[in-house]
Amino acid sequence: MGNCGELCNFTAENFILSKVSKLQFIGSSDAKADSKGRVFLPANFRHVMQEAGEESMVMRKDVFQDCLVIYPESVWTEQLSVLRAKLSRWNKQEQQIFRQFAADAEILTTDSNGRILLPRRYRELAGINMDVRFIGMDDTIEIWAREKMDIPFVAPEEFGNKLEELMETAKDFAL
């Protein structure tokens, strides 16, 4: 066999990245939690998970917004590794940041009916009662209180202007 050079460079990181790239959640879906906090994970999102071979998920409250974020296990593992690499175990403040990020997470599984449990603590952190909206955010899924969705995240005109600006900037870097 000949030398294949960089093309054959297989690492665990490359494997994780190739697996993550299969995950793309798009769109939104409304659902209603039952009295125990169980809610159906939208079928299109379950399908993406199954196609990518993902069985486990991790949920935590978003760092910036009042919503919950579901990470497929491979995405969570990658995010945690990136964060760990940026933070020193020997710096008290950085260790506290990592601890907080990891401690606020919970493993999720779907039951035989395709439901996930949103524990009361997480529903309270995100201000979620019964009506929720799932939003596909590329490689993660957000869960919002439905009543918070009546107001756009960004005003339509501002959204259009900012998107135009971002795409013009991106065009400058295109090959």
- The pLDDT tens digits of the residues spanning 100-124 come to 999 999 999 999 999 999 999 999 9
Asked whether residue 162 is domain-assigned, the answer is: no
Provide the domain count of the chain. 1
**CB–CB of 24/139 below 8 Å?**
yes
> Closest Cα to residue 49, out of 146, 134, 148?
134
Structure tokens at 58: 């991790």
Check residue 173 and give its pLDDT: 61
- The pLDDT tens digits of the residues spanning 158-175 come to 888 888 888 887 666 655
**CB–CB of 37/120 below 8 Å?**
yes
User: CATH code at 97?
Assistant: 3.40.1550.20
pTM of the model: 0.81
Asked whether residue 96 is domain-assigned, the answer is: yes
- The pLDDT tens digits of the residues spanning 37-53 come to 999 999 999 999 999 99
Asked whether residue 144 is domain-assigned, the answer is: yes
Check residue 156 and give its pLDDT: 84
Output DSSP code: residue 25. B
**Domain region containing 73:** 24-149
